[in-house]
Chains A and B, each alone.
Chain A
Amino acid sequence: MSDAPTLTPEKRAEEEQLRAVWANPSGWRYWTSVNNSQVGLWYGSTAFAFMLFAGLLALLVRAQLAVPENDLISAELYNQAYTLHGTVMMFLFAVPIFEAVAIFLLPPMLGARDMPFPRLGAFGFWSFLIGGVFVCGSIFFGAAPNSGWFMYPPLATSEQAGIGADIWLLGLSFIEVASLAAAVELIVGIMKCRAPGMRVNLMPLFAWYLLIVAGMIVFAFPPLIAGDLLFEMQRMFDWPFFDPERGGDPLLWQHLFWIFGHPEVYIIFLPAIALLAMIIPTFSGRPIIGYSWIVLAAVGTGFLSFGLWVHHMFATGLPQISLAFFSAASEAVAIPTAVQIFVFIATMLAGRVIFSTPMLFAMGGIAIFVMGGLTGVMVALAPFDWQAHDTYFIVAHLHYVLIGGMLFPVFAGLYYYYPLIDGRHMSDKVGRFAFWMMFCGFNITFFPMHLAGLRGMPRRVYTYPADIGWDWFNLISTMGAVVLGIGMFAVVVDVTLHRRRQPKGEVNPWKAGTLEWISEPEENWGVRSIPHIESRYPLWDHASLAREVKAGEWYLADASEGRRETLVTSVLDAEPEQVLRVSGTSYMTIVSAVTLGTVFVALTFKWWIVSLLSGLAFIAAVLYWLWTGTGEIPEKDEKDIGRGIRLPLYSSGVKSAGWWAMFITMTGDGTACASLVFGYFFFWTIHEDFTGGLTGPGVLWPMMALALFVLAWAATVVAREVNRRGGKTAARMLLGLGGVLSAAGCAAALAGPWTTGMYPTAHVYPAIVWILVIWAAVHGALGIIMQLYCLARSYAGRLTPRYDMELHNVVLYWHFMLVTALITFSVVGLFPEAI
């Protein structure tokens, strides 16, 4: 350890104190940790476990398809197996694994001690674990979802889908909440918690990619959540959103699902490529060439990916002009994708490449991914897709892009970053064996599927006839799957068995240049002190940096108040702005996840009382969490972070991390509301008279509701201003008034369809109106809880004219509520009546 520093007694004491503050609790209380190192590890291991489970399901599928007219498993079990394989891989592995990697890797990479909201990340993990076990466990009861991983109605809304459809819907909605929480953390963490001096042009590319991906999650997941809501309302209460006999349309689900589904695959792909953007420069021995091109590619892909969704619907009979727009956008997205590949090639060209195991996985992954990308360019053209859609050609394409573009890079990342986990190395020998087995096995499995598909083999078939000419393709695919499985199993063996016998080695064996490589696996504090950054590759350009950081010579080297702290810096130039105190251990994350999980599980089985009680318990848990753990008034105004800089310990409004979190969350929430409004206009578009001749909610009640919500919003805004100027009593009265007005607004919202006798089960028009007003009313109710919370905080002296971050965040919520109310009530009250 050449950069082990020699310390003075004071520095040693400081180090001990820092270590103590960041230490993990012992015994079973270890599980209450919220530190990113633990949460990231748990998240990643859980995701891997789910992946292996889904892989076994795939082997089952391939075993059944090995020979024609096979009866190894029944049709019903087969349909559950392939559905669960896709569902688990997409929702329980592909997205969570990168969340895990980000939570583990980003703080050290950015020079932060932890994520900005550690408990939120931990809550996300526990939700993921509970939801995932619930979904995976279903197949052991023969109750797994069985209608494909995208669950098209009317099949999935019918009884044939069984309780599996509800498990799919509710289990996944729960996990989507976790993903949104992760997105909030990532955006705030990347934008606001970088080390001083790490300007946006110096930020590691992994961070750029994850910033874009987190933004994509905020806009892509809510349409699915909205769709899930409509879907479950139809399954539970027979609200006819997708029932054509009552004005509904199965195509609405397809739109909502794929508006999520297409960005989703890029959400899966971009973080994996981000790993390559870190790995390839290291093994080329030089900085990346085309940093700005990568930013172009990430942002470009992120945006363009939202304009592709109908290419999953080319065969549904939509007008050709519409299909053509999506063919065009689907082709356009290949450009930023190609840019990334050429950035990697260019970097290698200008460097000297070392073919380590991570590099092997990286190159193999690129070779596979490019093939998948090219077949993607092919199916992007509607005429060709009319032949290839829903055949094994698509199965081949999707596996080439996902396994080449995501799985292989993840394995490259595993081999690359493993030393950061516990100082040991993965085995090169096993790694190379695993790579060749996986690479060959993968191609043997999936290449023949291109031909099988164009030879006429559709997807999702539990068997096939013997005389069509698919026999050999399927047998070869099955054999390849076994080889692929052996390769992956070898990695599992390496991770679980091999490493225990190894001595600890160098933490940075690859001599990489980015900041995460000075982290110390045996310490929990992230970095010993937070450095000032002046380069994209600080370890290459600043030789003594590691030593200085470990000697505690940089910022925030102490924990003299006994608290866990990290720095908040400005967005563009990373100028220090605030010291952020983050939480240590917490039980509330587990309690909240369990109560919320119980709500969803109980709803699946229609245990309404249990669900309601759990819901109340969840709200109580969250309020307790917020009350005890946020908005803490610090004991002093500022803290000395070292080198002559003093920073505030508290901020409210635009500068505070909590405000950002609210903004991002509400943007996602607003997107979900917009998706419901999209549904409303979708029905208007496809029907001559989408009201079905039924009465609407009238104009009066919706306008009353709008007016009341406007007043409630105004009261809240004024309360914040009044409080700021010292008028505590007046502010409290205004908050109370705001709550009353909001309650009246909720009542008025529901009164509209209620008094005009709109029955949601009769036709889609009453159903969609009811959903919109219920959404507004629920959000109004949430607004009341927030107003009362601020009221209580004010009385308890935890919210003062000076320390008022809760009020700022609640006012921000009410801004979004105002927009929601404006749009909702104008739409249901004035359209189409006023036209």
Chain B
Amino acid sequence: MRESSARRATVLAVSSLSLASCSGVQSALDPAGEEAVQVAALFWVMTIGGLLIWSLVVVLSLYASRWKGRPTSETSAGKLIFWGGVVFPVAVLTALLSYALWLMPSLRPFAGGEQASLRVEVVGHQFWWRVVYHLPDRTAVVSANEIRLPVGQRVEFELTSADMIHSFWIPVLGGKMDLIPGRTNRVSLSATKVGTYRGQCAEFCGTSHARMAFPAVVMKQADFDAWLDSRSRVSVGLAMNPDGRALFKRAGCGDCHGVDARETTSGKGPDLSHVGSRLTIGAGFLPNEIDALARFIAHPGSVKPGALMPASTDLSADEIDQIATWLKGLQ
């Protein structure tokens, strides 16, 4: 009795662990988008089927090697090769392949300009994301290192790269698509659940590839419209803290980083318009706090090895703090 209840407890623990272990802000098994939902379903079907097939093969092998009594006849054994090794796989694979081929076109429909309500341009850099929201009225909102989407809308992403091959991936919403220099790839995603998720670069792009991620926030349509509207205008924090702002200019930060919500021509570094209200700093892995900002500004290479941003050797800790404070104020 004790043995079976111990076994029951183990099964319960394992299954709840596995179920719990599927959720997460970056989990493809906790889908929040149309493509991810379909693929997760496909995954579960294949996994259950796969585990069954694997168990069958293992049990057969054990039977053949240990458990059987007498050797089987050669003809029966030969028949097993045909039925188990040919007929069964052909049947299963044909069904599986047909299903996946049937699914493919609908998963990634080519969202032409007229179909997609929103077009987001993402440019991959080492090790940050340039994000530009292109509105139907031809205006653009420049941002970096964060993606925001309205729920229930098909959003088209236009993906290019400024240097190496990167890959754009928000697991809860859908599969990934590479950012390849010299090519423009397109993928469309349609979120189904409001929430804050996480995406990450999924193609090795250099030393700090592990540090190239971004929050992906899915909002209600009205909230998104409001957010986009505020981001299309200059931040009120721009005028506050003039010392910090002056230092920012004097240290040459503006050469690479835009701050006034316009589409800057430089683009050498992430656009910092409204950076204060972003969820993270440094492309998805540092908290958006003044001391984190200050640490990054002082020595980006220690936080993000291989980052192209130079260290601020000619600024004092105090000055860096002031810049950080001013940046945090750009809400």
Contact = CB atoms under 8 A, between A and B. Distances in A.
Contacts of A455: 21-22, 24, 26-29, 171
A250 B84 contact: no
Contacts, number: 269
B57 A341 contact: yes
A348 B85 contact: no
Contact of A148 (B53, B204, B306): B204
Interface residues of B, number: 88
Interface stretch (B176-184, B237-245, B315-323): B176-184
A324 B208 CA distance: 33
Contacts of A341: 57, 85
B104 A456 contact: no
B182 to A, nearest CB: 2
A455 B21 CA distance: 8
B137 interface: no
B128 interface: no
11 contacts: A76-B305, A160-B207, A249-B183, A290-B81, A346-B77, A348-B65, A350-B74, A353-B66, A378-B43, A384-B100, A390-B202
Interface residues of A, number: 88
Interface stretch (A124-132, A176-184, A363-371): A363-371
A75 interface: yes
Nearest to A148: B204
A523 B107 CA distance: 65
Nearest to B213: A465
Contact of B97 (A363, A381, A385): A381
B155 interface: no
B175 A386 contact: yes
A610 to B, nearest CB: 32
The 3 A-B residue pairs with the shortest CB-CB distance in the complex, in nearest-first order: A244-B182, A386-B175, A456-B26
Interface string A690-717: 0000000000000000000000000000
B50 interface: yes
Nearest to A350: B77
B80 A355 contact: no
A443 B176 CA distance: 28
Given A245-B182, A315-B177, A384-B43, A468 B66 contact: no
Interface string A367-407: 10011001101100111111111110000000000000000
B138 interface: no
Interface in B85-110: 85-86, 88-90, 93, 96-97, 100-101, 103-105, 107-108
Given A331-B97, A387-B175, A366 B61 contact: yes
A639 interface: no
A615 interface: no
A249 B57 CA distance: 44
Contacts of B81: 289-290, 293, 339, 342-343, 346
B253 interface: no
Interface string A454-486: 111111111111001100100000000000000
Interface string A291-332: 001000000000000000000000111001001100110011
A249 B180 CA distance: 9
Interface string B161-176: 0011101010100111
Contacts of A339: 81, 85-86
Contact of B204 (A248, A387, A460, A468): A460
A304 to B, nearest CB: 12
B305 A75 contact: yes
A463 to B, nearest CB: 6
A495 interface: no
B290 to A, nearest CB: 20
B209 A460 contact: yes
A465 B28 contact: no
Contacts of B63: 349
